[in-house]
A and B are shown apart, each in its own frame.
Chain A
Amino acid sequence: MVDAKEISSKQKQIAVSEFFEKNKHFLGFDSLQRSLITAVKEAVDNSLDACEEARILPNIRIHIDRLKGGEIRLIAQDNGPGIPRDAVEHVFGKFLLGSRFHAIRQTRGQQGIGITGVVMYSQLTTGEKTKVTSKIASDSSAVFVDIGLNTRKNRAIKSREKRDVWFDEITGEVVEHGLRIEARMKGKYQRGKQSVFQYLRMTSIVNPHATINLIVRDSDGDVYEQGSWNRTTNRLPRVVEEIKPHPHGIQLGTLQRMLRESEERKMTSFLRHNFSGVSMRAAKEILSRAEINENRSPKRISTNDAHGMLDGFQNVKLLPPPTDCLSPIDDLLIKKGLSKAIDSRFAATVTRIPTVSQGNPFQIEVGLVFGGDLTADGPIEVLRFANRVPLMYQQGGCALTKAIESIDWKRYGLDHPGAKGLPKGAAAVLIHLASTNVQFTSEAKEAVAENDEVFEEIRRALLEVGRGLKNHLKKKAQRKKAKEKFELINVILPEISKKTSKLLGKPEPNLSPVITQIMNAVFCEETLGWDSQQKLATCLIEVFNYTARARAYTILVKWPESDTVKMAVNPLGGRKEARGIWAWRIETINPGCSTTINIGLSGLTKGDWADTDIFFRGNGDIIGATKIDEKLLEEMRTTESLNAAQNEINEQYSEKEVDHLIQRADSAAKSELDSQLIDAPPPESHSSSIQNGEPKISDYLTEELE
């Protein structure tokens, strides 16, 4: 696939406007409606990227005026670092061609040509210049400048430049730092599934650290549509590491260019310094396979030899590429993002461990929400993202959608006629693919191309959230049944007895044996709540014994234990059975009696603890609780003790030192270590990789350990 940048570099000589005109369909400026969305997208992506780099929590304001004559005024403002005066021309007036091609990391990835496209599109459709206001923190005043384009020279033309104090239009306060763009263009604002609103809503889901506001006004100044999405976390996405390309993902053209442009004198150092995952041993093996002398100069490698190298890349055992170049959103934040944009009753999210496909690290995140204000008729809503960028078009042709369709959702409680197409029901599914190289079906970058490994990862994640949904629905049904039974014995039965006694003039019978007969079970009910005074997430567990004999159980509850989440209230004591599993021994519950356990957790915010599982140990089932799987518990404990050991090691080496360790391991090229690491598949989950035995370097690369 040829990407837009390559195309544009080839066409450098042609006037840029011509290039734009020819390629506007995949630059996102093909229809009036889409052009506006693309313009907003470029502005918002720029803002998010700039804020992320400057470690600023973004506040983004989009203001759209629907003017007469099919024109639109778009104002995009952020609180980002701003652009220094001298760089304004560069940022707005040039196609930003190719960042260093050998540096790979997850970026939002420009849709086409970035913000310059907006300047260009405005100028071409209305002849208007784009008004830019920029303020950087270290300057005392802001720059106000109009930007136009000299399309023949591919250069910006600045006009009416001035420096002044910048007062915010809405708050009236002096702006410390930020960027404001005002452009006038042909465009059409349309509501619905493919709208600016939907784009911003989706953006806010995967950027829970951003506050985004939208206001759209009619030509007479009336509000046409507005949206407001507040940040749900103050945690910025972590800074991603740049990595070198991995040989498994390299194509001939790229390799040849890298060879040509290399400064290295020897082929071994070329391989080791330009690629990730290539040890000295591997470099030598590749070269010997390709029959290339180790000391040859990279610049002198022929096409034939390059072919041989590619062959070697596939057949020599290599270290997998590091995965810390990815920036997942994190499952809890996805949950928060989803609940911010969609009000629903149930949310399950999964962040898979990063893995590698064809030399490209990637990571899958999936969220599923169910119920609430989602509509039950029609197919579920699909929210697709690639590297935190919403994908709004070509849903049907996207591998992410196909992965959803490949699952038999009937088994997980959704209506899925014929197990074909999208399932139906009051649900929305979010899929985020984070990768250093997202492969799209076309240059329009709206649909992800099929890839078996990616597909399989998505499926696994979906099955996991599907199981969560199934559990939730089962629990809901069980809870409903229990509630009915409670009403039956507590309300209806006493009334029946009162009525028959009155009609017959007889004394009321003793109902407890009747109740025991009707229920003949032990029930458990849990209620999650929020203590706003003490700022505690609370859980009340009630166990009712409606059987004819006394019962004894151990009740276990799953809770979100972490370094910050502690059990602040727990009058019954009990004990910790595993991380996140607390247990209480209940000695005797007599027939017809009940016992209550209540706990309060600190370190959470309201709504964080929305779902839990209750387990029991003992004879006789409890309706509303699951019998604990002792084997699983044992496994959890084993994992934990191994984790503890790992953490100790972790403490000895700081993160930086681990990096050194990796590098040392890398350059030392211990062949035994190599083969051992390469044979092991990328870790499926934390626990499985840890249980395989001694700690591996790959474990250090997969985020913090649980």
Chain B
Amino acid sequence: MLVVNLIGIGLIALIIWWFWLYRPGNGVAAAPGQVIEVRVRDGVYEPSLIDAIAGKGISLKFTREDETACAGQVIFPELGIQKELPIGRPVVIRLVPPEPGEYAFHCQMGMYRGILRAHSG
């Protein structure tokens, strides 16, 4: 039973680390003015981590290939951006991360998740 319990506790620790604590290394680097293509497919944004420079504008071109209704919108809560993503029709979102830090983006239910990481120039 001890082994089973240890496995269970290990599993919980793994869930916490994998979904909440894990901080990815390098994302896709976006140069100022560059257009980064983001695919919305099978429950994820690809890429889901984008590195940008604070104060410089970038464009994210979202293409939704996922028919699940959940994928219908992308929201950048800190930047006040909310866009509808029609299936198969690219939607370009231009944004300027105002200061260094992490800006999350997600679907309307917060399950498709991505991070825009702004570094100081």
Are chains A and B native binding partners rather than an unrelated pairing? no
